[in-house]
């Protein structure tokens, strides 16, 4: 293709999610289980009162202003680091503000990998990992998230630097979470490798998980010198702040000097792409975390409860009617198990015809219970099963 760089991917970009979401919005009878955003019980996008109350004090000049640096505003960086890491990480770390969790993942990939390198991520995963891999001309290797031996096999297949993405807990789309024992095994494996390893933990949904989902952060304190841990956090999910495009990349390593250089690299990459971020969003999230933390935690607890009610009801009813789901722990989604992608396509079409809007994933159909009020989730599994 003329004008564009030689390795540009010129195939037509189709956003699998946005196109179905648009169709659902146009259908008055739709059961819309497409969006990866939390909706309330009235069917409106869920928002945190404390976030929007706090936002009122931000002035037009603050909204209009550039942020103070490509790496982000100091107050935001300090507040988000404390929020994500709590008091669990005593190793060295460096944090940068990013354009959502996506910006964190993209920056991690673009700064750590060269064209032609391997990137390892789950076989059933958020579709954007592949888009990011393709965009950077990387070779994807995928693993079965339920099988650590398979993950380790894929790690062993890579010659040179290992770059592994793990999306746990609340994996999109499966809702899977690794137990502490599994994390322990993963870190044993990574720590034992002779090559450099970058572990990118996509923790976009971690705030909606139950059962102390950050317990494994303790393992960041005992990593070998060959391991760089990168956490990709998302304010889109944590604060229902999707359109504000805010997140964070937190790098953890034994070598403080390396982290200083790495942050410098990331800052330059940020300057060259988004330049700097939404100043008002950073001011506001810092304010929420510093001044309204208890209010936020209370609202978050309520939001988690609302979500848990939907998922536990749907999972129980799916079991009762024999609708086979992938095993899940918690999160925004559950996924119907499909034998192959041909039968998935046919089933997905039947669901669309019945006004039930879901998202196709590899060997599965994702049901975004985050966007379905409880009264609509009630009985939905049986309606879906009837169409199978
Ligand atoms: C698994 C996963 N990671 C990261 C993100 C990043 O979201 P954002 O860029 O809006 O923070 C998403 C969004 O849907 C996601 O599903």
**What's the Cα-to-Cα distance from 206 to each of 93, 176, 203, 230, 258, rounded to whole Å?**
19, 11, 5, 15, 27
* pTM exceeds cut of 0.85: yes
State in Å: Cα 370 to ligand 1 middle: 14
32, 85: one domain: no
- CA–centroid distance, residue 100 to ligand 1 (Å): 7
The CA angle 192-195-196, to the nearest 5 degrees, is 100
70 and 94, same domain (yes or no): yes
pLDDT, tens only, 82-128? 999 999 999 999 999 999 999 999 999 999 999 999 999 999 999 99
Specify whether 269 is located in the same domain as 323.
no
* Greatest C-alpha distance within the chain: 59
Q: For residue 233, what are the β-bridge partners?
A: 248
Token couple for 365: 């159909």
Q: Which mutation among 16, 38, 80, 100 tests ligand 1's pocket best, with the greatest number of atoms within 8 A of CB? A: 100
Are 251 and 308 found together in one domain? Answer: no
What's the CA-to-centroid distance between 387 and ligand 1, angstroms? 30
Both 260 and 285 in one domain: the answer is yes
Of the three residues 255, 272, 291, the one that is the final residue of a domain is 291
Instruction: With a cut of 70, list the residues of the chain below it in pLDDT.
Output: none
**Considering 245, 270, 291, which residue would you say is the last residue of a domain?**
291
Ligand 1 centroid to residue 114 C-alpha, Å: 23
Residues spanned by the domain of 304: 16-48+294-386
Answer yes or no: do 271 and 347 share one domain: no
Q: Are residues 44 and 123 in the same domain?
A: no
CA of 69 relative to ligand 1 center, distance in Å: 23
| Peptide bond before residue 127 is cis, with ω within 30 degrees of 0 | no
Probe target for ligand 1 pocket from 122, 128, 244, 274, with the most ligand atoms within 8 Å of CB: 128
Helix or strand (DSSP H, E) at 218: none
What is the Å distance from ligand 1's center to 224 Cα? 28
> Both 117 and 22 in a single domain?
no
Is the distance from the beta carbon of residue 244 to the nearest atom of ligand 1 less than 6 Å? no
Atom of ligand 1 nearest to the CA of 103: 9
Q: Is 126 in the pocket of ligand 1 (CB under 6 A)?
A: yes
The predicted pLDDT at position 323 comes to: 97
146-187 pLDDT, tens digit per residue, is 999 999 999 999 999 999 999 999 999 999 999 999 999 999
User: Which residue CA neighbors atom 14 of ligand 1 most closely?
Assistant: 36
């Amino acid at each position: 293709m003329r004008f564009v760089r030689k390795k540009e991917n010129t195939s037509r970009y189709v956003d699998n999610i946005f196109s179905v979401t648009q169709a659902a919005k146009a259908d008055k009878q739709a059961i819309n289980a497409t969006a990866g955003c939390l909706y309330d019980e009235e069917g409106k996008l869920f928002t945190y009162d404390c976030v929007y109350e706090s936002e009122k004090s931000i002035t037009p000049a603050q909204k209009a202003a550039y942020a103070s640096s490509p790496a982000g505003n100091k107050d935001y960086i300090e507040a988000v680091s404390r929020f994500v890491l709590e008091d669990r990480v005593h190793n060295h770390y460096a944090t940068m503000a990013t354009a959502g969790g996506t910006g964190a993942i993209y920056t991690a990939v673009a700064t750590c990998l060269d064209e032609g390198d391997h990137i390892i991520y789950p076989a059933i995963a958020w579709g954007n990992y592949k888009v990011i891999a393709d965009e950077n001309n990387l070779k994807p290797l995928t693993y079965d998230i339920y099988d650590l031996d398979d993950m380790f096999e894929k790690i062993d297949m890579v010659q040179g630097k290992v770059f592994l993405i793990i999306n746990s807990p609340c994996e999109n789309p499966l809702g899977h979470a690794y137990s502490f024992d599994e994390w322990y095994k993963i870190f044993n494996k990574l720590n034992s490798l002779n090559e450099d390893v970058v572990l990118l933990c996509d923790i976009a949904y971690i705030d909606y998980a139950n059962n102390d989902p950050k317990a494994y952060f303790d393992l960041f304190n005992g990593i070998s010198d060959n391991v760089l841990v990168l956490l990709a956090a998302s304010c889109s999910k944590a604060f229902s702040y999707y359109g504000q495009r805010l997140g964070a990349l937190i790098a953890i390593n034994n070598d403080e000097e390396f982290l200083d250089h790495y942050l410098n690299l990331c800052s330059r990459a940020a300057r060259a792409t988004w330049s700097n971020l939404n100043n008002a969003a950073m001011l506001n999230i810092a304010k929420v975390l510093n001044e309204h933390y208890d209010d936020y935690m209370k609202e978050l607890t309520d939001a988690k409860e609302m979500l848990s009610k939907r998922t536990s009801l749907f999972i129980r009813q799916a079991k009762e009617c024999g609708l086979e789901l992938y095993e899940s722990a918690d999160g925004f989604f559950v996924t119907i198990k499909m034998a192959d992608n041909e039968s998935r396509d046919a089933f997905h079409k039947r669901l669309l015809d019945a006004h039930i809007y879901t998202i196709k994933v590899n060997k599965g159909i994702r049901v975004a219970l985050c966007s379905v009020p409880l009264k609509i989730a009630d009985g939905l599994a049986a309606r879906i099963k009837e169409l199978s």
